[in-house]
Every structure is written in C-alpha cells, then in structure tokens.
Amino acid sequence: MAENPSKYYVTTPIYYVNDKPHIGHSYTTILADVLANYHRLLDVPTHFLTGTDEHGQKVQQAADANGITPQEQCDQTVVRFQELWKRLEIKNDDFIRTTEPRHKKVVQETLQELFDKDEIYKAEYEGWYCVGCERFFTEKDLVEGNCPECSRKVDSIVESNYFFRMGKYQDWLIDYIETHPDFIQPAFRANETLGFLKTKTLQDLCISRPKSRLSWGIELPFDTDFVTYVWFDALINYISAVGYKSDEEQFKKWWPCSTHLIGKDILTTHTVYWPTMLKAMNVEMPQSIFAHGWWLTGRTKMSKSLGNVVDPMAMIDTYGVDAFRYFLIAEMTLGQDASFTEEAFVKRYNADLANDLGNVTNRVLNMISRYCDDKMPAPAAADAGFDTTLEDGLWKDAVAAAEQMGPMIGNMKLDSSVAMVMTAVRKINVYLQERAPWSLAKQEGSEAEVAHCLYTAAECLRVCAALLYPVMPEKMRALRTALGMADATPHLGKLAEFGVLVPGSAISQPGALFPRIEAKKVDEASSLVKDQQKKPAAKAKKQKVEVPNNGLITFDQVMNVKLQTAVVLEASTIEGADKLLKLQVDLGDEKRQLVAGIALHYTPEELVGKTIVVVANLKPAKLRGVKSEGMLLAASLGDTLKLVTVEGDLGPGAAVK
C-alpha cells in the first residue's frame, strides 16, 4: 500500500447470517475501520465496505432449524451485525447484502456474460461434498475420508452442474502472484497459495447447485433449474457494491480495491477463485489480499461448536468499546494467530491504558489546572533564557512517532504502530519525572519555564491522541476536547506542527478515561470465554529448596551465578503461549535463544536492540517445547514489569558485578 494513495478502498469478508457475530467478525471489521479511519484523517478519499453473505446451504439449514424462511433468517440475523457495528463505532461507507437486487442483478449479468464466452459449461460431477464449507472435493483431497478444510464428514454426490473453467488460468495465476509480491500478504500466505497451485492440478470450479437440493440462491440466468454457488455469488460483492455493471464512473473511482481483509481460513477462495474469476471477466486485480490469523483460546481456535467463542457485546458491556478495540489491534500481529484471555485483556488494559495513557493525561491536565489556572499555557520563545533540551528531545520523539506511523500502517504492522505510540506516551511520563514541574513551580520566576514544560507535554499528548484516534475514536475525542481543542477530530498530516494547542484556551478534566480494573484472577472459562473443553491444569509439584541461614546466601553462592550483558537480536511470539516471547541474543562470544514470560509487557519490536542482563550459566530448559538457554532479569511491582537493562556503550558479554 502506498503511503499517500490517491484513494483507499478496503473490504471485509461478507459474513454468513446463519448465526450471531463473534470476535472473529469483530476483529476483521475493527481492523478495516482503523485502516479506513487512518486514511480519512489524511484526507485520502476512502471507501469501507462490509456486509452479509445471505445465500447458500448453511443459511437454508439455519432457517429450517428456526422454522422460518431463509429471507426471514437473513432479515433477523443481519440486524445483529448492524447493531454490533454501531456499538463498536464502525464507520463503514456501505453495507451490502447479497439478497439485495443491486447485487443479484450484477451476479446474473456476470454469469450470463461468462456463459456466452464459454467460460462456463455444463457437465456431470461425481465427487465429495462438504455441507459446512459448501465445496466439492476429489477423493485425493480428503483427509482420512473427511473434509480437508473443516474435518467434517462429506457426502458422495453424482449430479449435473455448471462449471467455471478455472483450471485454464493456473499458469497465469502462478505467474501473476510471483510477479506481484504485494498481491497476497503476508508473504508466507502467497507461498502457501503458490504451493497449492504448483503441486496440484487446478480443477474447474462448480458454480451451481441444483434447486432439487438447494433452492436458496441466485438463479442461473441461463438455466432456472439451478442456483449460483454461494462463493461465486459472494465474491462478486466487492465489485457489485461499487458500481460494476451499474455505475461505470463510481466503479472507476474505487476499483481496484486497495485491501481485501480476510481470515486465513478463506485464503483459497480469495487468492485462487477470485483472481481467476476477475481474469475471465477482464477486470483488474485487487491491489492486495491480506489474510490475518485466528483468535485462539489457549491453543484452540474459537469455534461455536466448542463453545469457546468470545461474545463482543459482553466485552463491550464490561470494559467499554475503545478498550476492546485497542486490545484487539494491540494484541494480534497481523498474519499470526493470537490468544484471547480475559486475564491478558485486563493486564494490557491496566498497563497501557490505565497506567500509561490515563496516568499521563491526568498528570498533564491536573498540573495545567493547578499551575496555569485551567488555561493552556504558552510555549516559550526561542530566546527564553532557559535550557529546553529536554523539551526539544521529547517533541522530537513525538514527531518521529507520527512520521513512522504511515510506513507501519502501510506494512500492516498495526500492533507495532500502537506499541510505538505507547512508547511515546511513556516518554512523556519519564520526561515529567525528570523535569519535575511541581518542584520547578516552587522556584521564584519560573512561571515561563513551567508553562513551556507543561505546554510541550500537552502538545506531545495531542500527537499521541491523534495517532490513537483511528483505534479509540471516542476516548481520543474526549482527550482532545479536554486539551481545549475545538475540533475533536485530528488531521494526521499536521501533527509535526508545534504550537497547535491555543494558549489561553480553557482545558477541562475528562475524569478517568480508563479507570483501573482491580487486579483479579480471571477465569478463562468465564461467561466471556466459554471454553467447555478446558481441563483443570495439573498442579505443579512443589520442590523443596534448602536455603541456609533463614534465607541468607553466601558470597560464594552469589559468585556462582554468572550475569552477563546481552543484546537482543530478534524477538518473536510463540504460538499458543500468550505470555512467552522467544529471543535471540548476542552474548559477545556466542548467540543464544532465550524464552521469557514478558509478552504481556513488551512487544517483540520493543526488545530488538536492547542491552539486557541474563543469567548465562543457567541449565538449558524447554518452555512450551521451545529451548531456553538462560534467563533474563526483570523487576516487577504489581502488574508492572520492567527489564533490567544497561545504558551507554557497554556491548554484549560484559560481566555484571
């Protein structure tokens, strides 16, 4: 994605209306909303599309189970999605339903056009059909006789159907993916698709279902005894919603799509079916298809059948909309899986929002109220006569965060971008501790210096609030208003301008933006995460350790512990272990791998380059199956944990004494 595109068109998958929305639906939609918000705040023309997939066998089965018609099933369920998006502050520009006439018309015209071009033909099919996935599979595709995608039982079917000549585009698609590295993201998903295309013969796609077996769908225009395969119908929403075959000017304005956001479970349909369909239709390819990971409970994918799905409404009611949005964006590295626990949610909330952002907001506004009579102070002139080195450095850090945000968003590193902003927030807190304006205010004639100090802190807070606005619009509007800003909506292109806050304007107290959640043991099988399958963890055997002299140790025992400095070279998450990070460190004369339980306090990106202190002569051990060759040192107090680091030019391998 270009840093300054001429337009930005982002889509979510359209969601099935056979059940209520869950955290997976919420995550993709919040992710799209954050991306759309960011581009709007840069004045980039933006279009954000979401919607519902309302045809197919699963919808018909859900309707039958509820004793209503398929259309009634759609009309009742779609409201749940629309209401949740309002609660989540989703600002989509369009919401498409595949039962709408505007969509059905485009699907039928497209089918007729492809049929007339001999891209669609009729033939008899004999094979295996998965009702859950609504897909046909060959015998060799099956895994132990079951569906290779969802592991459900499959049915043997022999029937006449219509087929799209997808197979003839196999070589073209391989070449297109290889010559367009941004087309499928992350890169390993492109390799996954290429692996599929290079090891299997791409079959033609069955794009119909006989009405005798399935009546709920869009009729084929050339044979009314059949309805359209739900995926062929659904994928076309991305172009039917922006004017394909109905409004050429509108279609040219928005297509090609900038970013299709999808879950990794629908990779094949979007990276094989969709591009071959577009090629046959002679329509330009989307710029990027980005597949994110799954939300897990422990190591298990969230699933309605397992009863471990997080209810977004319950999370919102308990913790608030913006906190929920923040956690989902901050916690998942796009492309990888992430684990959801209420305990992890509370820890991140308290650490990032209550302790860091909430604390610095209260400190800055309270001191402006106390020392500047509830008015925004004025910054000092260049020749103020006092040292502004600390203020200049703090502002430089805030501007750097604003400048780095664009490339991070462009590279879909949203978790890293949020972590970077929170680092800037913490620097304001560190600055206030070092500058100590409360002490400075006691010195005679220090009014201008105190004013400059607090104004600089407020300006940096303004920048951080603007950068977090796409993620937490409600709370950041409140923060901007508290800073005395008449315009509660920021413009991201003007963040590097110092002096935006108006001296003399009235500030206000927003109250506790993020009230601290009292520390508690959160049961992972709570009403928010109903994991029916979770078994009680076996109690670890306590090992008695003999410590002489009432806990005192000898000098020799201390000297037996070898402490060295180490530089972090790489850091990454460990799948299925939400508290652990895997580090590659340089000890000067060798490189080692450490596993540390610090993932709730540090992102991998924050750690790279840090000089830490490690126990270098600890016996290697395995944590979650990953080898750890040492231990790093950290200090903790309550929910706060900080690494023991070394400042200055001291490199790796230095002895710590």
pLDDT at 320: 93
Note whether 628 and 622 are within 8 A (CB).
yes
More confident residue, 120 or 573: 120
Report pLDDT digits (tens) over 94-106. 999 999 999 999 9
Closest CA to 45 of 93, 82, 90: 93
Distances from the Cα of 148 to the Cα of 137, 205, 317, angstroms: 8, 17, 38
Q: For 180, how many CA atoms within 13 A lie in the half-sphere containing its CB? A: 17
Note whether 607 and 614 are within 8 A (CB).
no
pLDDT at 22: 86
Q: For 2-11, 348-357, 424-433, 518-527, which range has the lowest pLDDT when averaged over its residues?
A: 518-527
At 68 the three-state DSSP class reads coil
Distances from the Cα of 341 to the Cα of 42, 422, 527, angstroms: 34, 21, 12
If pLDDT is split at 50, 70 and 90, which confidence band does 172 have?
very high
Kind of pairing, strands 120-130 and 155-164?
A: antiparallel
What is the separation of C-alpha 305 from the centre of its chain, rounded to a whole number of angstroms?
A: 24
At 104 the three-state DSSP class reads helix
Q: For 299-308, 341-350, 375-384, 489-498, which range has the lowest pLDDT when averaged over its residues?
A: 299-308
Catalogue the E-assigned strands of 55-152. 94-97, 120-130, 135-137
Closest CA to 238 of 198, 278, 191, 180: 278
How far apart CA 621 and CA 304 sit, in angstroms, is: 37
- Only one residue has tokens 């879909």, namely 412
For residue 397, is pLDDT > 60? yes
Q: How many residues does the chain have?
A: 657
Closest CA to 511 of 365, 324, 347, 351: 365
pLDDT at 533: 35
Note whether 313 and 84 are within 8 A (CB).
yes
Kind of pairing, strands 611-615 and 631-632?
A: antiparallel
Which of these CATH numbers, 3.10.50.40, 1.10.730.10, 3.40.50.450, 3.30.70.920, describes 340-494?
Answer: 1.10.730.10
Extents of the domains making up the chain: 340-494, 549-643
Rounded to the nearest integer, the mean pLDDT of the chain is 88
Note whether 614 and 564 are within 8 A (CB).
yes
Note whether 640 and 648 are within 8 A (CB).
no
Question: In this prediction, what percent of the chain has a pLDDT beyond 70?
Answer: 89
Report pLDDT digits (tens) over 197-208. 999 999 999 999
For residue 357, is pLDDT > 80? yes
Domain 549-643, architecture per CATH: Beta Barrel (2.40)
CA-based radius of gyration for the chain: 28
At 612 the three-state DSSP class reads strand
